[in-house]
Amino acid sequence: MKFGTKAIHAGVQPDPTTGAIMTPIYQTSTYVQESPGKHKGYEYARTQNPTRDALQANLAALENGQHGLCFASGLGATDAILKLFKPGDEIIASSDLYGGTYRIMVRVFSEFGLTFRFVSLDDPANLKAALTDKTRMVWIETPTNPLLRIVDIAAIAQITKTRNIQLVVDNTFASPYLQNPLDLGADIVVHSVTKYIGGHSDTVMGAIITNDDETTNRLRFIQNACGAVPGPQDCFLALRGIKTLHVRMDRHCQNAQRVAEYLQKHPKVSQVYYPGLPNHPGHELAKKQMRGFGGMVSFELVGDSLPEAVRVMESFEVFSLGESLGGVESLCTHPASMTHASIPKAEREANGLKDTLIRLSVGIEDADDLIADLERAIG
């Protein structure tokens, strides 16, 4: 089955009691048992819920994986993955990372004895140099947030596979429509469903997809034991969002390409970060491992003035200033003070993230209106 068909049908069956074509919202905390332990496969809603089951099966299919597990947020999913490890275990993460992922690693899990090292992984050779005999996991994002760098998933997987290290890919920016890390050798895919998968800025949720039975059993145990599960109403909204994922992503890609090309020609713009631009250092690799370049574009203004960047962000009329991304509406974010404020300034700057960087989540509005908004705001 191809992607658009899977998006609409995978994991979803007409409701067995009524034939309802849309998976019902099973808003229940528990299930009646016939006799102690004799039930229909559902005991308590933290452990199992039919609306969540449909979504988990659907997401697994979209990532070409065997198993899907949903969590109350993307970071809830990240938390579960980090709980696979033990004190003394070492994790290498790419240095250009979502701020919240950095925060849970450095401020929560290092307190429990996990060691984290942040390495620039756009060059896979850097990974080889950073590995030790304690390394148990490599965590990457690609495209990265907010600098849209491209990391070679297959090349990193080649290094981790031979050493029995788990490779986790945060596939939030690409979505399963544009990139399937499991096919490229990753062991675990994590998503903030909040973003493109949900797609309508109305739900916070996370997901994990894997092919490995043992990892899944452990993650399923953690999902139930630690309890960061999403509610059925949110699962319904995510399922509804997914039905148009492929259609939305095509438009996100088209609009972002137009916005990036417009910005690149603008005399007041000094730098544009978008993997769909031929001069982007990861362009060829993105063409190889992705089916499109996505909807995220970051840029800097000539002169690198923070007040001027702030003035532009305040001047938008169609782009709304806010955290998050991946919804149908266009958003603009100031990573240094918003999504990445939890990373110390010196570390941000060492990674190339300037205080003047503006990040756009290009929505699916009419591209002419988006360009006109940029023109008005940048001036």
Ligand X SMILES: *Cc1c(COP(=O)(O)O)cnc(C)c1O
Task: Tell me whether residue 288 is one of the annotated catalytic residues.
Answer: no
Applying CB under 6 A, the residues found at the interface with ligand X are 73-75, 98, 100-101, 141, 145, 170, 172-173, 192, 194-195, 204, 206
C-beta of residue 101 within 8 angstroms of C-beta of residue 139: yes
Of 78 and 356, nearer to ligand X (C-beta) is 78
Residue with the shortest CB distance to ligand X: 74
Of 24 and 322, nearer to ligand X (C-beta) is 322
Task: Tell me whether residue 15 is one of the annotated catalytic residues.
Answer: no
| Catalytic-role residue among 15, 46, 250, 304 | 46
Type of residue numbered 58: N
| Catalytic-role residue among 6, 195, 248, 348 | 195
320-321, strands of its sheet edge to edge: 269-273, 296-301, 358-361, 331-333, 320-321
Supply the minimum distance, in Å, between the C-beta of residue 204 and ligand X: 5
Of 75 and 148, nearer to ligand X (C-beta) is 75
User: What is the distance between the alpha carbons of residues 374 and 377, in angstroms, rounded to a whole number?
Assistant: 5
Task: Tell me whether residue 195 is one of the annotated catalytic residues.
Answer: yes
Supply the minimum distance, in Å, between the C-beta of residue 89 and ligand X: 21
Supply the minimum distance, in Å, between the C-beta of residue 93 and ligand X: 12
Phi, psi of 172 (to 5 degrees): -60, -45
Type of residue numbered 51: T
| Catalytic-role residue among 53, 122, 152, 170 | 170
Of 179 and 192, nearer to ligand X (C-beta) is 192
Supply the minimum distance, in Å, between the C-beta of residue 277 and ligand X: 21
Task: Tell me whether residue 134 is one of the annotated catalytic residues.
Answer: no
Supply the minimum distance, in Å, between the C-beta of residue 323 and ligand X: 8
Of 10 and 93, nearer to ligand X (C-beta) is 93
Of 173 and 262, nearer to ligand X (C-beta) is 173
The conformational region for residue 123 under phi > 0 = left, psi -120 to 50 = alpha, else beta, is: beta
| Catalytic-role residue among 52, 79, 98, 149 | 98
Supply the minimum distance, in Å, between the C-beta of residue 98 and ligand X: 4
User: What is the distance between the alpha carbons of residues 157 and 167, in angstroms, rounded to a whole number?
Assistant: 7
Q: Which residues are catalytic?
A: 46, 98, 170, 195
